Structure 1
Amino acid sequence: MQLLTTFATFVALGTLGSCQSITKVSGFKDGPTSLGMYVYVPKKLTAPAPIIVAIHHCQGSAQAYSTESHYMPLADSHGFILIYPNSRSSGGCFDVASTASLSHNGGGDSQTIANMVKYAVANYGGDANRTFVTGTSSGAMMTNVMVGAYPDVFKAGSAYSGVPDGCFFVSGATATQDPPGWSNACANGQVTKTAEEWGNLVRSYYPDYTGPRPRMQIWHGTSDNTLHYPNYQEMMKQWSNVLKLTTSKNTANTPQSGYTQTIYGDGTAATAELVGYSAQGVGHTVPVHESMDLAFFGIA
């Protein structure tokens, strides 16, 4: 995983949004795991406001990811709340390997992140009906987990260089072990399933859920040597099955040279239920395309 320099600037909640920096929410205690919750709330905010959860990669942090990605200026322009979960592990990774995290209300990192959304709705004027999640690498893996286990919380996700929901499962892994469980076979792109098998995994993590499923946007580089490229097709197979989509259309050099866009089902890049971007020659990780995320989320 890439190594980033951690940068942190803290401001009081009373002046939050006066400059582009995040603050730790000391009042958030609703684990069940001890992730830190950091937020960015623009000064000019009309409630109820959309919420975007942005999840960092291994060897990263909420503070570093808030500056590495560039969502904060867009939050000022478009009036949405940002939540940056901060990993509790020494390596900065999130737990996507345990049954606790993979399952709805299972007691893992995913439940803690879902509780952060509820906290933002209750305390910052967030809109529970316009909540989205994105992330890079470990954060992308957790993005897939979040939309799989909490389709009642999130409306859409955008995953940068991740793996399918459930691919990283490690038997015996726990929600609190440090470092979290790691699956070499999944990371190396050696775990393959049919679309239905992947879809059944997602459905098994919240078996009582019968409502609509979140829309998904997937990004992956063909030269990814950390979470290898075969994971891209496995993710596309998984979410096409979950979303009950059977037809797709490819467009070369979109949104830029070397990227191939795949749209499943009907709609445009901003409105379709499933959109993928295969980035030729790009390694780990695909650069964040913030404005495209907002368009996909229906915020801009």
Structure 2
Amino acid sequence: MLLALLAALLPLLAATALTAPTAAAREPAPESSREKAVPTATLTEVTNFGTNPSNLRMYLYVPESVTSNPAVVVAVHWCTGSGPDMYNGTEYDTLADRYGFIVLYPSVTRSSKCFDVSSPQALRRGGGSDPVGIKSMIDWVTRTYDADTRRVFATGISSGAMMTNVLLGDYPDVFAAGAAFSGVPFACFATTDGSEWNSNCSGGTVTHTPKEWGDLVRGAYPGYSGPRPRMQIWHGTEDDVLRYPNFGEQIKQWTNVQGVSQTPAVTDTPQSGWTRTRYGGTGDQAPVEAVSLQGIGHNVYAQGMASRVLTFFGLDKSGPAPQPQPGACKVTTAVNAWNTGLTASVTITNTGTTTVNGWKLGFTLPAGQTVTGGWGATYTPSSGSVTAANVSYNGTIAPGTSVTIGYQAGHGGNSAAPAAFTLNGTACATG
């Protein structure tokens, strides 16, 4: 009977062995559960990116030439601005096309359009509010694109500069470096009454010793003993919104955090009216770099400065081969002025040998001029350092061809044309 039973079971066992899956076989995750990469070469909003206690919006720019394990630059806007405004008003997307990194643009939805840099929640790691939402955005990018977590950077203007200080304090293990344009030290804006504004800090009357400033940063992540992000600081001497003493207080704070001397290792003048000091080192990636701009107000950021930020970050020597750029460009202007207004016609000529695909023209309006309308481009902002970005029908400039745009502006007596122009960050001849 036993022999008969065994004879009956053997075929069944053999069939089971032939049809059972091996231990190593695994079903792939369903496609619907995978995070989707965004379209390249265009600003795209990403939703449902993770924990987001203050309802921020997330915008992303991924270049067509994105590298494997790309770096990530978090570009943070000013008060009343937005992520798309930061995209249009700076050239980080164009530089991303050249070097292959990803640009993340957080965007505030609260009515002030200012980032929270003052609440107790914002000033500690994982405490809540805007820094937590931005950290979720970074996590989404690093998961989706296998980004290099050792090369995550932050830069911002005004409120975004203050947030840059906060992000580096809250998450020193996330960021490699930051660049702050017209900001204040970490925790300088701290309030406990729910107010977003701290007049003492903005007025430049909040001062501390270097150690006191450093302790405020260290207190955001108690027990952390790892490396600290490097910091680049920009400020105008005539800033009437976030007063110039905040420049020196930031230097005190971040030199103490880095553990380096407050005496500059080197001082130079990279451009007329600029004084640059480097602390703890003399090279392009010193632990702390500070640039003071003589006679400049709160709107300190101008075209071309983003390239200097990338040098400080160390992102201008990595990435794919440079994408096609105009070998040369020329800009001519014609102005028709009356008592309080003017119209300006601006012709951009590609004098190089490579087609320009997508362009941004940077220039500085003379003092007292404000753009009130324009054609052939979108103009951001309306005064000071302006960027004119192509519209859908004129984004391509073939070698030897031109595009003409124009704007209308009010003026207070000076009706001159801008004196200098950059095309996608490259200086153009004028004539």
Q: 2: CA distance between counterparts of 1:120 and 1:14?
A: 10
- Does residue 278 of the first structure (1) align with residue 278 of the second (2)? no
Cα drift, residue 33 of structure 1: 2.0
Instruction: State the AA in 1 paired with 2:310.
Output: L
Alpha-carbon shift at residue 287 of structure 1 (Å) = 1.4
Q: Report if aligned partners of 1:56, 1:136 keep a CA contact under 8 Å in 2.
A: yes
Matched AA of 2:295: G
Q: How does 1:79-158 map to 2 (within 5 A)?
A: 79-158=100-179
Map 1:250-265 onto structure 2 (within 5 A): 250-254=266-270, 256-265=271-280
8 A Cα contact 1:13 1:23, kept in partner: no
**How many Å apart are 1:134 and its aligned residue?**
0.2
Q: Secondary structure of the equivalent of 1:245? A: coil
Task: Report runs of 4+ in structure 1 exceeding 6 Å deviation.
Answer: none
1:70 and 1:286 map into 2 onto residues whose CA distance is 15
Q: Which residue of 1 aligns with 2:264?
A: 248
**Which one has the bigger strand percentage?**
2
Task: Determine if contact 1:227/1:284 at 8 Å carries over to the other structure.
Answer: yes
Conserved? CA contact 2:37–2:144, under 8 Å: no
Q: 2:50, 2:133 within 8 Å by CA — same for their partners in 1?
A: no
1:15 paired to 2:31: no
What is the CA–CA distance in structure 2 between the aligned matches of 1:73 and 1:128, rounded to whole Å? 22
The SS at the match of 1:142 is helix
Could you give the per-residue CA deviations for residues 8-32 of structure 1, whole angstroms, max 9, x where no partner exists? Answer: xxxx965321xxx311102324212
Q: Distance in 1 between matches of 2:212 and 2:297?
A: 28
Which residue type is aligned with residue 15 of structure 1?
Answer: P
Pairing of 1:229-240 with structure 2 (within 5 A): 229-240=244-255
The CA RMSD over aligned residues, in Å, is: 1.4
3-state SS of 1:100 partner: coil
Q: Is the 8 A contact 1:220 1:285 kept in 2?
A: no
Determine which structure has greater relative contact order: mean sequence separation of CA pairs < 8 Å that are 6+ residues apart, divided by chain length: 1
Verify: 1:293 aligned to 2:293, yes or no: no
Give the whole-Å Cα distance in 1 for the aligned partners of 2:38 and 2:187.
Answer: 40
Aligned match of 2:206: 191
CA contact 1:250–1:260 (8 Å) conserved in 2: no
Cα shift readout 1:141-200 (whole Å, capped 9, x = no counterpart): 000000011001000000000000000000133xxxxxx611010001010111111001
Taking only the aligned residue pairs, the percentage that are identical comes to 46
* Structure index of larger Rg: 2
* 1:62 and 2:83 are equivalent in the alignment: yes
1:266 Cα deviation after fit: 1.7
Give the whole-Å Cα distance in 1 for the aligned partners of 2:177 and 2:161.
13
Superposition TM-score, scaled by structure 2 size: 0.63
Give the equivalent residue in structure 2 for 1:212. Answer: 227
**More divergent stretch after superposition (27-36 vs 229-238):** 27-36
| Structure 2 gap segments, 5+ residues each | 1-35, 317-431
Could you tell me which runs of 5 or more consecutive residues in structure 1 were left unpaired when the two chains were aligned. 1-11, 174-179
SS of the residue 1:193 aligns to: coil
Paired letter, 2:205: Q
Aligned-partner Cα distance in 2 for 1:220–1:185: 18
Change (3 A) 1:253 1:94: same
Give the 3 Å change call, closer, same or farther, for CA 162–43 of structure 1 in structure 2: same
Report the 3-state secondary structure (helix = DSSP H, G, I; strand = E; otherwise coil) of the residue aligned with 2:127: coil
Greater shift, 25-34 or 209-218, is seen at 25-34
1:249: how far off?
Answer: 3.8
Match of 2:51 in 1: 30
Q: Which amino acid aligns with 1:152?
A: D
Change (3 A) 1:83 1:14: closer
Aligned length: 278
User: Over residues 208-231 of structure 1, what are the superposed CA-to-partner deviations in whole Å (9 max), with x where a residue is unaligned?
Assistant: 211000000000000000000000
Structure with greater proportional helix content: 1
